[in-house]
Amino acid sequence: MPLTRISLRRGKPTAYRQAILDGLYEAMRETFNVPEDDFFMVVAEHDAADFRCSPTYLGIARSDDLVIIELTVNNTRTLAQKKALYRRIAEKLVNNPGVRPEDVFINLVETLPENWSLGHGIAQYAADTAA
């Protein structure tokens, strides 16, 4: 049940932003065992003054087209699945909408399954124990 947040500089067309959302969802379905219809995604656009990043950290030449992707997920995936997800996201976004691989920044935040309520004030993923 990933919660996906995408941050980028303001000014990209709707089709560009939609391609990012679609590519992320497809990559998660292909590599992360995300069920069909399991998507909760938001895009936040920022003015140049409110969007800063290192253009060279770790020797990676980033541009103003950087896309920051934060995925909050259950801590149930293997390292191999995580690496596959990162690769597939980059491949998808390079293909469409044409993001440079250097401009794909991914942060994975893992949480325990009981830390989610997907509606009705119920912890749907929590073990059913009296607590």
**pTM higher than 0.75 for the full model?**
yes
In tens, the pLDDT along 35-78 reads 999 889 999 999 999 999 999 999 999 999 999 999 999 898 99
Q: Which residue is associated with the tokens 């950290």? A: 57
CATH code, domain with 29: 3.30.429.10
Residue count of the chain, please give it.
131
18 within domain boundaries: yes
The CA radius of gyration of the chain, in Å to the nearest whole number, is: 16
In tens, the pLDDT along 77-128 reads 999 999 999 999 999 999 999 999 999 999 999 998 888 878 898 888 887 6
Strands laid side by side in the 40-46 sheet: 40-46, 3-9, 67-74, 104-111
Owning domain of residue 12: 3-115
124 within domain boundaries: no
Q: Looking at the annotation, which residues are catalytic?
A: 2
Cβ contacts of 120 within 8 Å, gap of 6 or more: none
121 within domain boundaries: no
